[in-house]
Structure 1
Amino acid sequence: MASILGAVLFLSGAVAQVTDPLQYVDQLIGSNNGGNVFAGATLPYGAAKAVADTDSGSNQGGFVTDGSKVTGFSSMHDSGTGGNPSLGNFALFPYASCANDTVDGCDFPKKDRAINFINDTLKASPGYFSLTLENNINVEMTAAEHSSLFHFNFPQGSNPLIIMDLTDLSNSRQDNGTISVDADTGRMMGNARFLPSFGQGDYVAYFCADFQGAQIRDNGIFVNSRASTDVKDITLSRSINGYPLPGGAFNRFQGNDITARVGVSFISAEQACQLAENEILSFDFDKTHSAARDAWTKKLSPISVSTQGVDKSMITNFYSGIYRTMVNPQDYTGINPIVGSDEPYFDSFYCIWDLFRSQLPFLTIIDTPAVVKIIQGLLNIYKTNGWLPDCHMSLCKGLTQGGSNADNVMADAFLKIGGSEIDWSLVYEAVVKDAEEEPYDWCCEGRGGLDSWKSLGYIPVQDFDYKGFGTMTRSISRTLEYSYNDYCISVIANGQRNQGDAEKYRKRSENWMNLYKSDQTSSLNGSNTGFTGFFQPRFMNETWGFQDPLYCSNIDPNPNSVCSLQNTAGETFESSIWEYSFFVPHDQSKLTSTMGGPTTFIKRLDYLHDQKITYIGNEPAFLTVFQYHYAGRPALSAQRSHFYIPQFFSPTSGGLPGNDDSGAMGSFVAFAMIGLFPNPGQDVYLITPPFFASVNITSPVTGKTARIRTVGFDPTYRAIYIRHATLDGEVYSKNWIDHSFFTEGKELVLFLGANETVWGTRKEDLPPSLTPYE
């Protein structure tokens, strides 16, 4: 009977399978409430990203739906980042006319020209963005790889003027911003030097803008609030007043319908012109938009889910999350001055500390060729800078948040991609350098405190690290992350049959135990939590320090607690000791026994979530949702994932619990909803029931389709417990699978019920762990 029911469900699911994923993408999810997403028009990993920029205090992605005003329309953005606003270089801005029909009659500075848009005119879909300003100028835009196309439609009777402003979102332009406008054609070319949003150094970006559709009346340049048709080029200083001196160029037109094409480059304005001409030769908006839609359809089509009984909002949540995983990082191959034109180069890693946990593992499944290029790009950064990055943006070194987490990315790819065109010997050279050599500048690459790491087996609080330069904080989180980094290096060493190194780094991966204080207690609101044993800071003389395990937690009542990159910060990064207590991804068996066994481990996980100590809007929380698997209670992981989605992840403009972090939040949603969550750096996916009756995932490597289907699917999500399962028709009791599930196109059938069962609970059913389970 069950097999017949399964067949019926499978057939109905096949009929109701998603065939057009783009209809379920909502780019405005996370455009408010601190999601900081890029909501505009782009291609997968595209360098050109066109959107309206607003004057919101949370405009890291450019456009925000919080009632803020539009200040311009620019072609370079990042998505979901924290910190300072990123990119937003070279903003176009349209004026219907200037007072008294003189060029000085327009308000050129950004703060003066800002204008509201009409809310119900806002439209966004893959490869497209448009809105109408309150002065009835409609602006729509689409994008190619390195160029954007803006269509301006002005009200009848207008005397249009469009400026190109030498600005960026964070007003970081330095000296020598340069622009010129051709008197006859109206072509604008220029460049400027800017600062990265979360790193050191600076970068130069270039642009080329052409206009079509209306006759040019006149043109010139503007500086601050004045303009002239007599001057056609200018080089601007930064000025001395804290913000860059406003300046740029303008064209005035006779006609109401104008299209602007903007090419971007990090090499030259001439290259920007050539790229724009090659990509959007005819200024054909519909053709460019159609090509962008086709590119997104190709990327999203490998995953198809059943619509059977599921509310559209769930499907929208799912595909929108997948979409956001491919906005960043950005493919700067051929447009950067760092490596040769044919060498892969990706940027906008904000930060690998965020991305290694679920985003890059997700792309490994559905867009393996892109991950290969991303890793090759990281290796090119290594060859150029001498180190793999943890953060990197706008051609600049970013700040290191924790360990050398590119090591985790490399191990994950090594296990799952394996024999590809990646130079694994170079990969190994790079990760070993992270583990063995301390850079002077370990604020932005490599690891600090390696002398103590090797001699003491932990990073001490107040470490004497005279070799390097970095923030002398985060001793606990760095110790835990270095431990996992070294485990990941051991994985690659083992795969390359370097058993000496494999054992060496496996041994170092046990260093987390050196900061575990078995008698440390924790209190909440003055009462003991009942749990004993927490990580604590330790000095160089091996005596213990103290940090409240709830310090910097989601429920820490002290508004002055800081756990970031400040010199006065705590010993954990962006989270508490309570949450970091679970960050031993490679040896959950040892961690479980150290905490007192599976029963206590589960109680501690429950306490972490039930007391809201964890914050699902930050990436360290991700794995804790599913760690019940390691204690033999996969049903509780299912409960937690269904608690957080859709309560904390919903298809609304404020529907993200925190910064999307370049697609990290999107990938958490996507993985959780297909019912397979990774433990990155290991060939492990933890199984929970999907949010759909069936899921089909086609491998871009083998072309084979893996299938997850359910028997007894309940769209009310009360039947979220696995009664039993089969893998390719055979009984399957393990609560995890490996990557061959995707590449070999296997079928996992989950029989669901409304009550927890014994499925996946036996010792032999648990995921791999460095230490055997007791």
Structure 2
Amino acid sequence: MYDAVDPFIGTEATRLPPASGLAATWWWPKPQIGNTHPGATHPFGMVSVCPYSGAYPTGYGRYDFNTEGVPPTVHDDLVASGFTHFQQSGTGAIRKYYNYFRVTPMVEPLDSLGRTYRLSEEEAAPGYWAGTLESGVRCELTVGPKSAVHRYTFPSHHEARLVVDASMGGLALPHSQTVPLRAHLALLGPGVAQGEILVEGVPLSVHLEVTSPGWRQLLWYDRRLMPGGTRLDFDYIRSTTLRSFGLMWRGPAAAGEVVEIRLGFSLRGCEQARANLAADSGGRAPAFGWRRSATTQVWRSHLDRVQVEPVSGEQQTVLATALYHSMVKPCFAPDESPAWPTDGPFVFDICTMWDIYRTQLPLLTALFPERAVELANALLSVCEQEGNLPIGYRMAKGADRFSRQGSALAHTLLADLCRLDLPGIDWEWAMVHMEADLRRSYGEDYLVSGVAHPVSHTLDLALGYSCTAVVARRLGDAELAGRLCGLAEGWRRAFDPSTGLLVDSSFYEGGRENYSFRLLHDMRARIELAGGDTAFVTLLDRFFGFGQPPVRQPGVGPSTEELAAGYALGRFEGLNNEPDVDAPWAYHWAGRPDRTSEVVQQVLVHQFGTGRGGLPGNDDSGGLSSWYVWASLGLFPVAGQDLVLLGAPAVPEARLRLGDGELLVTAGGLQPAEPGSPTNHVRSVSLDGHPLTRTWLTGTELRRASHLAVELGPRPSGWGTGHRPPSVSDPVPARPRSRPRPSPTPPWR
């Protein structure tokens, strides 16, 4: 899969062939761009490095701030003023844009620092980026888990420069810049320096080593050199008085002169940054070639967890890139917590749980269970130290402004890990924090009145109680589990039985319909509330646009009236937004997996493609890309419920390394999915040679299986119509010895 990855997919505005059929009825309100970047990354690594134009939202590219429609541009061409470290991946208005310690190779005076150069001859692969600045400098970037290595090949010049700007960060857009509060820089010896900036409440340290041909090294402040100086100390910096500052190496360059700069980073001081660089360099110098090769091998081993026989080369590229984007975030930085002194798991750029809990985290759990356990322990540490299980968590201090997106979403990851019985988590410790988190913020409204607004939080909290009951049962606390299960029934109060949809409320991006069809822990009762299978399928069909005319997508700067008319459709957003990414699988509980196949195939055909404009919307830390991976395999995880739903694969064959085992998925009778082609419907399924008439597996079954064989055909076959996925209110066979203990009545019932 490594060789098929194209890191440029998603870096420019959506450019897909015109939609036809069902997909033409979907309306996309959010930004029509992937917001990814092609810079060098390490699988789940702490550090990334990328060309910096100052554009929204990663610092790479040509675009201005945007929250809906086609993004406006701020640059006509691809440009860069240097190369910065730490970027988000596929997010929107995250408000933490990083881009620290800009490195700029120059053949102009220091006064020119900050000008942008046109980029040409760009190329990228996982862990590597290369391009040429219009100044003639060839630039190459690679990274380790906690380090970055740059290699610059200069043209002939009597005084070339390598400049590090430690004062800047964020984006070159209004209200998006970042200013350090304190900073310290020091020259330690020939080609060696270190520094620390306190930025957005976090101390970020760097250790630098430069292999230059005898160039002179200097500090600079306000674009003025400081000959003979070895330290710069700023104990307090105001944004109104900031003057740029940093380090520089300069000297004559022969044509083809190569200069490397290696940077180790840490959130715990310069000495640890030095140790991190040494660990990432493998004791070799110069380090670029070795570091690139080592990172390539790590990427290959990660991407090889999924191997497919594709229908076409284009499908191979899209799927490989989606898998790549699903492994960029979160950032695992063990022993790097800046907020508490103990060593152990630390993870940031969980941006955000609302984006990734349904698709990316289950993929992480399936392919890298040890990483999922590490993430879970990091989340529990955050809760212990800071008071809540976060919805969003970045390399910055400050209130979690994303709490309005959702509640108790980390509970789904913890419940799935608990059911899989993976080692490494203290479940008594987890239980304490899971239960306490349910009582904070919107959880207090839920307990007092039985409903929380935005009403989507009512659904989150009800699922959170159901997930927490899983842990309580593991610990043998039947009384607590019963009480939690009683509270988990509160989802009912979020719905209006007269419409089968959610009650009036405000909603975080999207509308009532987008949140009305999410996969709840009690889908059987939810469908009964809507009036039964037929009524529920009618609601779903209307939501997905069956029988409806095509719509027009928002353009650049859509008007309020245009957006209001679009939202009034109450329509599926075509995977351009998060709230309804699991809605196509709601048909399974109504006995219509054929409808799921129709919708999912339309998404796979129309909403993803090759090229820089190949994504329908923000990739959101790999949440969107992970959806594509799951759907291509004919699988979909139900977060927090230990379920993997089955559907029609889009590839003839796939091999998945799930923990220590391997699962082969085959799709007999698969016809290439193209615009206007018949839907591939499931005719039959067998698991390890045994017929399977139900439409789901448990997570444990998936991990233990060796061959999932799916036979497809062009018409619905009736497969799966008689066996619905489980719900918590399904009848339970009576136990001969004892009766279930009744759940205490919540105060609001």
Whether TM exceeds 0.5 here: the answer is yes
2:2 is the alignment partner of 1:22:
yes
Distance 2:638 2:443 in 1: 27
In the TM superposition, residue 39 of structure 1 has moved relative to its aligned partner by 2.1
SS in 2 for 1:670: helix
Distance 1:243 1:679 in 2: 52
Distance 2:701 2:59 in 1: 36
Please tell me whether the aligned partners of residues 217 and 254 of structure 1 are also in contact (alpha carbons under 8 angstroms). no
Please tell me whether the aligned partners of residues 185 and 196 of structure 2 are also in contact (alpha carbons under 8 angstroms). yes
User: What does the per-residue CA deviation read over 1:503-522, in whole Å, with 9 as the maximum and x for residues that have no partner?
Assistant: 22222222122232334xxx
2:652 is the alignment partner of 1:693:
yes
- Listed as ranges, the matches of 1:359-398 within 5 Å are 359-396=360-397, 398=400
Distance 1:71 1:491 in 2: 52
Say if 1:243 and 1:129 are closer, same or farther in 2 by CA, change over 3 A.
Answer: farther
Aligned partner of 2:346 in structure 1 is 345
In the TM superposition, residue 71 of structure 1 has moved relative to its aligned partner by 2.2
In the TM superposition, residue 339 of structure 1 has moved relative to its aligned partner by 4.6
In the TM superposition, residue 724 of structure 1 has moved relative to its aligned partner by 1.5
User: What does the per-residue CA deviation read over 1:573-622, in whole Å, with 9 as the maximum and x for residues that have no partner?
Assistant: 12211121123511111111111111221121122121572321222111
Please tell me whether the aligned partners of residues 7 and 125 of structure 2 are also in contact (alpha carbons under 8 angstroms). yes
2:303 is the alignment partner of 1:300:
yes
Say if 1:689 and 1:699 are closer, same or farther in 2 by CA, change over 3 A.
Answer: same
Aligned partner of 1:554 in structure 2 is none
- Listed as ranges, the matches of 1:158-173 within 5 Å are 158-166=158-166, 167-170=168-171, 171-173=177-179
1:732 is matched by which residue type in structure 2?
Answer: L
2:689 is the alignment partner of 1:709:
no
2:120 is the alignment partner of 1:185:
no
Say if 1:244 and 1:476 are closer, same or farther in 2 by CA, change over 3 A.
Answer: farther
In the TM superposition, residue 292 of structure 1 has moved relative to its aligned partner by 0.4
Distance 2:510 2:236 in 1: 38
Distance 2:320 2:241 in 1: 40
Percent identity of equivalent pairs: 24
Please tell me whether the aligned partners of residues 57 and 92 of structure 2 are also in contact (alpha carbons under 8 angstroms). no
User: What does the per-residue CA deviation read over 1:104-142, in whole Å, with 9 as the maximum and x for residues that have no partner?
Assistant: xx323x3xx222212xx1111011011111111111011
| Unaligned residue ranges in structure 1 (runs of 5+) | 1-20, 196-201, 439-446, 460-473, 520-531, 538-546, 548-570
1:334 is matched by which residue type in structure 2?
Answer: D
Say if 1:690 and 1:29 are closer, same or farther in 2 by CA, change over 3 A.
Answer: same
SS in 1 for 2:438: helix
Aligned partner of 1:772 in structure 2 is 730
Distance 1:672 1:381 in 2: 32
Aligned partner of 2:97 in structure 1 is 86
Say if 1:123 and 1:64 are closer, same or farther in 2 by CA, change over 3 A.
Answer: farther
User: What does the per-residue CA deviation read over 1:184-241, in whole Å, with 9 as the maximum and x for residues that have no partner?
Assistant: 513231111222xxxxxx2121112111042213523131x43343444323477666
Please tell me whether the aligned partners of residues 182 and 237 of structure 2 are also in contact (alpha carbons under 8 angstroms). no
Distance 1:748 1:302 in 2: 17
2:442 pairs with 445, 448, 470, which one? 448
Distance 1:612 1:115 in 2: 45
Aligned partner of 1:212 in structure 2 is 211
Please tell me whether the aligned partners of residues 518 and 580 of structure 2 are also in contact (alpha carbons under 8 angstroms). no
2:680 pairs with 711, 720, 735, which one? 720
Say if 1:640 and 1:267 are closer, same or farther in 2 by CA, change over 3 A.
Answer: same
Say if 1:639 and 1:773 are closer, same or farther in 2 by CA, change over 3 A.
Answer: farther
Aligned partner of 1:463 in structure 2 is none
**RMSD of equivalent CA atoms:** 2.2
In the TM superposition, residue 165 of structure 1 has moved relative to its aligned partner by 0.7
Say if 1:233 and 1:72 are closer, same or farther in 2 by CA, change over 3 A.
Answer: same
Aligned partner of 2:745 in structure 1 is none
User: What does the per-residue CA deviation read over 1:681-704, in whole Å, with 9 as the maximum and x for residues that have no partner?
Assistant: 01111111111111111222xx32
SS in 1 for 2:248: strand
2:612 pairs with 623, 645, 653, which one? 653
2:408 is the alignment partner of 1:404:
yes
2:284 is the alignment partner of 1:290:
no
Please tell me whether the aligned partners of residues 202 and 338 of structure 2 are also in contact (alpha carbons under 8 angstroms). no
- Listed as ranges, the matches of 1:25-64 within 5 Å are 25-33=5-13, 34-56=33-55, 58-60=56-58, 62=60
2:512 is the alignment partner of 1:536:
no
2:523 is the alignment partner of 1:588:
yes
Distance 1:516 1:384 in 2: 36
Distance 1:350 1:331 in 2: 13
In the TM superposition, residue 180 of structure 1 has moved relative to its aligned partner by 2.6
Aligned partner of 2:537 in structure 1 is 602
1:161 is matched by which residue type in structure 2?
Answer: R
Q: Normalising to structure 1: TM-score of the pair?
A: 0.81
Say if 1:536 and 1:91 are closer, same or farther in 2 by CA, change over 3 A.
Answer: same
In the TM superposition, residue 242 of structure 1 has moved relative to its aligned partner by 5.2
Aligned partner of 1:72 in structure 2 is 82
1:115 pairs with 117, 125, 135, which one? 117
In the TM superposition, residue 64 of structure 1 has moved relative to its aligned partner by 5.8
- Listed as ranges, the matches of 1:709-748 within 5 Å are 709-716=666-673, 718=678, 720-748=680-708
Aligned partner of 1:457 in structure 2 is 450
Distance 1:625 1:674 in 2: 15
In the TM superposition, residue 68 of structure 1 has moved relative to its aligned partner by 4.3
In the TM superposition, residue 719 of structure 1 has moved relative to its aligned partner by 5.2
Please tell me whether the aligned partners of residues 61 and 78 of structure 1 are also in contact (alpha carbons under 8 angstroms). no
User: What does the per-residue CA deviation read over 1:358-378, in whole Å, with 9 as the maximum and x for residues that have no partner?
Assistant: 111011111111111111211
1:614 pairs with 572, 578, 581, which one? 572
Please tell me whether the aligned partners of residues 196 and 206 of structure 2 are also in contact (alpha carbons under 8 angstroms). yes
1:159 is matched by which residue type in structure 2?
Answer: E
Distance 2:247 2:648 in 1: 57
2:726 is matched by which residue type in structure 1?
Answer: P
Distance 1:426 1:64 in 2: 47
Distance 2:682 2:185 in 1: 63
Distance 1:449 1:174 in 2: 36
1:577 pairs with 512, 516, 525, which one? 512
Please tell me whether the aligned partners of residues 722 and 757 of structure 1 are also in contact (alpha carbons under 8 angstroms). yes
Aligned partner of 1:4 in structure 2 is none
Please tell me whether the aligned partners of residues 191 and 212 of structure 2 are also in contact (alpha carbons under 8 angstroms). no
Distance 2:657 2:696 in 1: 19
Say if 1:285 and 1:723 are closer, same or farther in 2 by CA, change over 3 A.
Answer: same
Say if 1:360 and 1:61 are closer, same or farther in 2 by CA, change over 3 A.
Answer: farther
Please tell me whether the aligned partners of residues 351 and 392 of structure 1 are also in contact (alpha carbons under 8 angstroms). yes
SS in 2 for 1:654: coil
Please tell me whether the aligned partners of residues 442 and 457 of structure 2 are also in contact (alpha carbons under 8 angstroms). no
- Listed as ranges, the matches of 1:146-545 within 5 Å are 146-166=146-166, 167-170=168-171, 171-182=177-188, 185-195=190-200, 202-223=201-222, 225-236=223-234, 244-255=242-253, 256-280=257-281, 281=283, 282-307=285-310, 310-339=311-340, 342-396=343-397, 398-399=400-401, 400=403, 401-416=405-420, 418-436=421-439, 438=440, 447-448=441-442, 450=444, 452-459=445-452, 474-519=453-498, 532-537=499-504
Say if 1:218 and 1:254 are closer, same or farther in 2 by CA, change over 3 A.
Answer: farther
In the TM superposition, residue 79 of structure 1 has moved relative to its aligned partner by 1.5
2:659 is the alignment partner of 1:665:
no
SS in 2 for 1:658: coil
Aligned partner of 1:6 in structure 2 is none
| Unaligned residue ranges in structure 2 (runs of 5+) | 14-32, 64-74, 172-176, 546-568, 733-749
Query: How many residues align structurally?
Result: 659
Q: Normalising to structure 2: TM-score of the pair?
A: 0.84
Distance 2:96 2:107 in 1: 28
In the TM superposition, residue 671 of structure 1 has moved relative to its aligned partner by 0.5
User: What does the per-residue CA deviation read over 1:480-521, in whole Å, with 9 as the maximum and x for residues that have no partner?
Assistant: 2111111211222233332222222222222122232334xx
1:257 is matched by which residue type in structure 2?
Answer: V
1:192 is matched by which residue type in structure 2?
Answer: I
Distance 2:288 2:645 in 1: 44
Distance 2:715 2:197 in 1: 62
In the TM superposition, residue 657 of structure 1 has moved relative to its aligned partner by 2.1
1:320 is matched by which residue type in structure 2?
Answer: T
Distance 1:587 1:64 in 2: 45
Please tell me whether the aligned partners of residues 634 and 761 of structure 1 are also in contact (alpha carbons under 8 angstroms). yes
Distance 2:122 2:236 in 1: 34
Distance 1:64 1:435 in 2: 42
